[in-house]
Amino acid sequence: MTIAALEKCQTELTTNYEGFVKRKIQEGKLHDLFKFQMQVIHQITNWKDESEKIDIIDHIITIFKEACQELVICQNCAQPFNFRHCKNPSETEQGYRHVIELSCNDCGDYFTIAEGREVVTHFNWNVLGIVENLRRRSRGFTIKYTLANLGNPALINIPNNGGRPVVWIDGNQVLRKEDALKYWERAKSFLKGGKKQTDIPELQWYETEEAKVFIM
């Protein structure tokens, strides 16, 4: 086979793969495809050297980037997402874990798709920013942001030892800064008038060994 024929074959394979990636993205399977593709690459053992593996990954990531920029738009703003490829140190083995980040400049929505992770991380930069701003404005309590699953959008944690109450915002569920502000205002009103009460009718609550927790 001539060099020209080999180049033509390679071009056809790339074109076919690009079409396959686009179809899967349109089917809403970006996360599954990315995880599967990276898993297959890591299972291959007969690379000439590590640089060949890196080149293949970079080529595939470029195809994913072009497909995402063409097909994936923010549902809030109808704008294309920024695409970023990151390599984070693996927590379980040597080497790196590859991550795709999609972010919207307009509304602040942010998604991370990581190999080896079962779910897509979704949060909003603007919510994170306003929580930090509200923390500086809080008096007698504080407000914190977390991506741990709280089970509810927001909680008020009042320590049994008389410590400073904490308003927790679940970044997985609170995706608009207006909602974060709403929870802060409600918590401020509640704490100002009834933080020593446990029978406030508008808020359900439960108790742990360390604190009373009110659900907002």
Give me the pLDDT at residue 93, please: 63
Q: Could you tell me the pLDDT band of residue 83, with boundaries at 50, 70 and 90?
A: very high
Report percent pLDDT > 90 for the chain.
69
The answer, yes or no, to whether residue 174 has pLDDT greater than 90, is: yes
Give me the pLDDT at residue 158, please: 96
Q: Classify strands 154-159 and 96-103 as parallel, antiparallel or unpaired.
A: unpaired
40 forms bridges with which residues in the sheet?
A: none
Average pLDDT of span 27-44: 91
Q: Could you tell me the pLDDT band of residue 10, with boundaries at 50, 70 and 90?
A: low
The answer, yes or no, to whether residue 14 has pLDDT greater than 90, is: no
The answer, yes or no, to whether residue 208 has pLDDT greater than 60, is: yes
Write out the DSSP string of 152-195.
SSEEEEEETTS---EEEEETTT--SHHHHHHHHHHHHHHHHHHT
Q: Could you tell me the pLDDT band of residue 192, with boundaries at 50, 70 and 90?
A: confident
Specify the amino acid at residue 109. D
Give me the pLDDT at residue 73, please: 94
As a whole number of angstroms, the distance between CA 162 and CA 58 comes to 54
As a whole number of angstroms, the distance between CA 67 and CA 186 comes to 43
**Which sequence spans correspond to the domains of the chain?**
3-119, 125-215
* CA trace torsion 150, 155, 156, 160 (10° rounding): -30
Write down the mean pLDDT value for the chain: 88
3-state secondary structure of 120: coil
Average pLDDT of span 67-93: 89
**pLDDT, tens digit, 9 for 90 and up, residues 56-65:** 899 999 999 9
Q: Could you tell me the pLDDT band of residue 3, with boundaries at 50, 70 and 90?
A: very low
Burial call 102-128: b when 16+ CB within 10 Å, e when fewer: bbbeebbbbbbbbbeeeeeeebbbbbb
Give me the pLDDT at residue 207, please: 93
Average pLDDT of span 155-169: 96
Give me the pLDDT at residue 5, please: 42
Confidence (pTM): 0.81
What is the enclosing helix (H) or strand (E) of 99? strand 96-103
As a whole number of angstroms, the distance between CA 153 and CA 216 comes to 7
